[in-house]
Structure 1
Amino acid sequence: MKTKINKGDDIKIISGKYKGEYGKVSLVLKKNNQVIIENINIKTKHIKPKQTDDKGYIKKIEKPIHYSNIKLITKTV
């Protein structure tokens, strides 16, 4: 499916938890019809230590949003 949204475009989220927020597209996942938006939909992932002397840590990851939940505001050239 062809989308009109590309990397660097300014968008507005029109539905979901982040409804009404604005952002910039950092990555387009064409296979799943999803986009990753900078500083939106950030989830935490707890990483276990690999060896006994290592420490675990918490990593913050930007998760994708389906492109039907966003609206294009300005397009980059």
Structure 2
Amino acid sequence: MFKIKKGDTVAVITGKDKGKQGKVVHILPEAGKAVVEGVNYVKKHKRRTQQEQQHTGIVQIEQPIQLSNLKLVCKSCNAPTKVGFSILKDKTKVRICKKCNEAI
């Protein structure tokens, strides 16, 4: 079970986008990276092709960012926090906030 999942709100803790928050769009588990909405933009130069007439020139796209550079934002305390795990009475494993001990 990963500490960060698709759809979570995360905060960037290091790098050029430090302090920004965004929603996780895609996880790359084998690379240990995630694509976060509105974070880690790079400019790509795209050449015109017969299939793509519209998206040419300099295009900004989101690049993956290391999971170690992200912290999950707790919904109840609205702060970047460490993630812990807890096993409930019905034997299900849930993620918890280390600051407020609430289930995420």
User: TM > 0.5 between the two?
Assistant: yes
| Greater relative contact order, per chain length (Cα 8 Å cut-off, separation 6+) | 1
1:14–1:20 Cα contact (<8 Å) kept: yes
Query: Normalising to structure 2: TM-score of the pair?
Result: 0.61
Give per-residue Cα distances to partners, 1:1-38, cap 9 Å, x unaligned.
x5311110011111111111111100000010000000
1:28 maps to which residue? 27
Give per-residue Cα distances to partners, 1:25-72, cap 9 Å, x unaligned.
000000100000001111111112347xx7942222100000000001
1:13 maps to which residue? 12
RMSD, matched Cα = 2.1
Q: Which runs of 5+ in 2 are unaligned?
A: 76-103
Identity %: 40
Looking at structure 2, the residues matched to 35 and 21 of structure 1 have their Cα atoms a distance apart, in angstroms, of 15
The residue type paired with residue 6 of structure 1 is: K
Higher Rg: 2
How many residues align structurally? 73
Q: Which runs of 5+ in 1 are unaligned?
A: none
Query: Normalising to structure 1: TM-score of the pair?
Result: 0.80
1:9–1:74 Cα contact (<8 Å) kept: no
The residue type paired with residue 9 of structure 1 is: D
